Amino acid sequence: MRFLAQCFGAVFELIHLRFQHPQAKRGFSAAGQLVCAVRPTHSPTYVSSRKAATRSPPEQASFHTGHLNYHHCRRHPYHLCHQEAGLHDVQVTPCRCPLFSCQWEGHLEVVVPHLSQTHRVDILQGAEIVFLATDMHLPAPADWTMVHSCLGHHFLLVLRKQERHEGHPQFFATMLLIGTPTQADCFTYRLELSRNHRRLAWEATPRSVLEGVDAVITDGDCLVLNPSLAQLFSDNGRLAIAIAVAAAKVPPAEVAV
Amino acid sequence: MRFLAQCFGAVFELIHLRFQHPQAKRGFSAAGQLVCAVRPTHSPTYVSSRKAATRSPPEQASFHTGHLNYHHCRRHPYHLCHQEAGLHDVQVTPCRCPLFSCQWEGHLEVVVPHLSQTHRVDILQGAEIVFLATDMHLPAPADWTMVHSCLGHHFLLVLRKQERHEGHPQFFATMLLIGTPTQADCFTYRLELSRNHRRLAWEATPRSVLEGVDAVITDGDCLVLNPSLAQLFSDNGRLAIAIAVAAAKVPPAEVAV
C-alpha cells in the first residue's frame, strides 16, 4: 500500500516538475526517471526514534516481520561482490544506524529494515532516479534520506544540513553502500544538480555504511553545497538530485595510485 | 620570451604530472592538454600593485606599449558576440580590475594588458587546458589567476581562497568573460577536478568581468570547495583543474525559464 502511494507520489512529482521546472523538462522526460520526494528529518524526531529503539527489542531479532518495503531488499540478496570478496559473514557484521543522532546498533543485514521501519526511509528501485529534497530552508541539523536499490544492493543516499561551523550551515550529499567497504569498491555513483544553465556533478566510489556519514563528511568525500549554491539549484525550497549507480570498471584496489 | 618560457613550463608540468599523478595519466595524455602552473598572489602583493597603479599613468592610455603576452589578445578581436549584441562601444566600457583588493579602473579592452602587466597573469591558448594551482596550503586571502584565450575571446579563471566566515577558508573557482554580460551568455565553461577515483565537475555560463568576482561568489555561482574537499583533489599542495570553454548551443535569453 505504501509502495503504491510512493509510486503515485513519484508520478505526481514528475508531472509537477514538468510544469514547475520547464528548463528541466528534457532531463526528466527523456530519461523517464523515477522521482522520490523526501522530507527532512530533524534531531527531535531522531531523539524520539532513539527512545523507541531502546525500548523495543533488538531489531536484528525482529526484521523478519519487517515493513512492506523490505521486500525490495529481499529481492536482491548480496551475491555480486559478496562472492568476490569471499565474505560470508556480512549478515552478522555489527553496524550502527548511519543517521544523525540515532544510537541504534544491529547487524548489517538489518540496517535496511531499521531505516525503513524506524526512520520511515523510502526505498526506490531503478538504475537512475531523482532524489527530490523538500523544505531545504528548514534549520540544521536535518537529514534527507532514501535507499536506492539497484544492481543487487542497497545504497543509502544522505543529504545532511549541518553547521560544522556555528551559524554557517552547509549541505553534504553522499551515497553509502549498505555493505562492507570491499563491496563498496565494486561500484561508482554520480550525483548531479542541474538548473538555470548550471550543472554540478559528483562522481565517486561509495563508502560503506560501516564507516558512517560523519567520517565521509569529515574527509570531504562527498558533494558539498554552501547555502548560496544550494539556493542556486533549488526551486521553491526543493532540491532535485539526479542519482546513478554503476558497477566500477576497474576495482580501485587494482589501479596503481 | 615569456611565452616560450611558459610553453616550456607547461611541457615540464605535463611530464611531471604524468609521473606524479599516474591516475590522471589518461586524462592528460589523451586530450594533449596544455598545463599552466599558477602560483597564488596574496594581499600584500595586491597592495603594492595598487600603489604602482596609482603612481603610473592610466593604463587605458598606455596599452599599445603593452606586455608581450598582449599579442594573444590582439590576435582575437571581439567579433563573435560583439556583432550579435550590436555592441560597438565595448572598448570604452568602464571596468574595474577583477582581482582581490586591486583598485585599478580602466576600460574593458585594456583589462587583459592590465592583468598581464600589473599582476603577471599568464595567458594560455587552447580549447582545453589544465590550470594547476600550486601552494594551496598558503593562508587566505589568495588568488590564483590565469587568462584562457579561445573562441576569439579572453576568459579569466580565478581560484580564490577566502575566509567568508572567520577562521574557515574556502576555495571558489569561476571563469569570467573579459567582455560584456551579453557576450558572456554566448558561452559555457566547464571546470573539472579528478583524483583518487573522485570527480567533481561544474558547468555554467560565464559571468562578465564587469560583474566582479565578489558578486559571483556571493551568488554561489561558482565551484566551491571546502578545505577537506580541496585536500582530496590536491597532490602535494597542487590542485589541477581541467578547463573547457564552448559556444552555448542556445543563448540563455532564448530559453524559456
pLDDT tens digits, residue range A240-255? 999 999 999 765 554 4
Question: Do B188 and A204 count as a contact with CB atoms less than 8 A apart?
Answer: no
Res A206: pLDDT? 97
Q: What are phi and psi of B175, to 5 degrees?
A: -125, 130
Mind listing the pLDDT tens digit for each residue in B4-47?
Answer: 545 444 444 444 444 444 333 333 333 466 877 888 776 544 43
Cell of A232: 542556486
Side-chain half-sphere of B25: how many Cα atoms within 13 Å? 8
Question: Do B229 and A252 count as a contact with CB atoms less than 8 A apart?
Answer: no
Mean pLDDT of B133-143: 91
Residue type, A163: E
Mean pLDDT of A16-20: 43
The burial of B185, by beta-carbon neighbours within 10 Å (0-12 exposed, 13-18 middle, 19 or more buried), is given as: buried
Rounded to whole angstroms, the Cα distance separating A169 from A165 reads 7
Contact with chain B for residue A225, Cβ under 8 A: yes
Give the bridge partners for B6, in sequence order. none
Res B74: pLDDT? 30
Mean pLDDT of A67-71: 28
Res B134: pLDDT? 94
State the DSSP string of B34-49: EEEEE--EEHHHHHHH
How far is the alpha carbon of A185 from chain B, nearest alpha carbon, in Å? 10
Q: Which of B22, B188, B197 sits opposite A204 (nearest CB)?
A: B197
* Higher-scoring residue by pLDDT: B33, B1: B33
A29-33, A231-235, B107-111, range with the lowest pLDDT: A29-33
- Ramachandran class of A141: left when φ > 0, alpha when ψ lies in -120 to 50, beta otherwise: beta
Res A174: pLDDT? 96
Question: Do B257 and A22 count as a contact with CB atoms less than 8 A apart?
Answer: yes
Contact with chain A for residue B253, Cβ under 8 A: no
Asked if residue B241 lies in contact with residue B193, where contact means CB atoms within 8 angstroms, the answer is yes
- Which of 3.90.1150.10, 2.60.210.10, 1.10.10.10, 3.40.50.300 is the CATH number of B34-58+67-194+223-254? 2.60.210.10
Contact with chain B for residue A232, Cβ under 8 A: yes
Q: Within a 10 A sphere around the Cβ of A134, how many other Cβ atoms?
A: 17
A71-75, A90-94, A133-137, B78-82, range with the lowest pLDDT: A71-75
Asked if residue B81 lies in contact with residue B186, where contact means CB atoms within 8 angstroms, the answer is yes
Contact with chain B for residue A163, Cβ under 8 A: no
Question: Which of A70-84, A132-146, A243-257 is most confident?
Answer: A132-146
Asked if residue A211 lies in contact with residue A247, where contact means CB atoms within 8 angstroms, the answer is no
Q: What letter would DSSP give residue B73?
A: H
Rounded to whole angstroms, the Cα distance separating B257 from B254 reads 9
Mean pLDDT of B186-191: 96
Res B30: pLDDT? 36
Question: Do B170 and A226 count as a contact with CB atoms less than 8 A apart?
Answer: yes
Mean pLDDT of A51-78: 32
Rounded to whole angstroms, the Cα distance separating B50 from A136 reads 42
The beta strands (E) that lie in A97-152 are given as 105-107, 123-125, 128-133, 142-150
Cell of B227: 578545505
Res B93: pLDDT? 85
What percent of chain A has a predicted confidence (pLDDT) above 70?
A: 65
Residue B242, pLDDT > 50, answer yes
Chain B residues close to A229, C-beta within 8 Å: 220, 224
Q: Is the bond leading into B22 cis (omega within 30 degrees of zero)?
A: no
Cell of A62: 525482529
pLDDT interval class at B70 (50, 70, 90):
very low
Asked if residue B216 lies in contact with residue B181, where contact means CB atoms within 8 angstroms, the answer is no
Question: Do A198 and B221 count as a contact with CB atoms less than 8 A apart?
Answer: yes
Asked if residue A13 lies in contact with residue A131, where contact means CB atoms within 8 angstroms, the answer is no
Question: Do B227 and A221 count as a contact with CB atoms less than 8 A apart?
Answer: no
Res A2: pLDDT? 52
Asked if residue A157 lies in contact with residue A143, where contact means CB atoms within 8 angstroms, the answer is no
Virtual torsion, Cα B4, B9, B14, B20, nearest 10 deg: 170
Mind listing the pLDDT tens digit for each residue in A21-40?
Answer: 433 333 333 346 687 788 87
Find the helix packing angle between A111-118 and A43-55, rounded to 10°. 120
What percent of chain A has a predicted confidence (pLDDT) above 90?
A: 42
A15-19, A169-173, B41-45, range with the lowest pLDDT: A15-19
Q: What is the Rg, in whole angstroms, of the alpha carbon atoms belonging to chain A? A: 18
Asked if residue A193 lies in contact with residue A200, where contact means CB atoms within 8 angstroms, the answer is yes
Residue of B nearest to A252 (CA): B197
Res B45: pLDDT? 41
Query: CB contacts < 8 Å between A and B, how many?
Result: 87
Contact with chain A for residue B57, Cβ under 8 A: no
A195-199, B81-85, B172-176, B194-198, range with the lowest pLDDT: B81-85
Indicate the class that CATH gives domain A39-60+68-126+137-249: mainly beta
Contact with chain A for residue B216, Cβ under 8 A: no
Q: What are phi and psi of A159, to 5 degrees?
A: -110, 120
Non-local (6+) Cβ contacts of A66 within 8 A are A113, A116, A117
Rounded to whole angstroms, the Cα distance separating A174 from A159 reads 7
Q: What is the largest CA-CA distance in chain A?
A: 51
Asked if residue B80 lies in contact with residue B153, where contact means CB atoms within 8 angstroms, the answer is yes
pLDDT interval class at A99 (50, 70, 90):
confident
Give the bridge partners for B235, in sequence order. B238
Rounded to whole angstroms, the Cα distance separating A1 from B19 reads 57
Virtual torsion, Cα A9, A15, A19, A23, nearest 10 deg: 100
Chain B residues close to A23, C-beta within 8 Å: 255-257
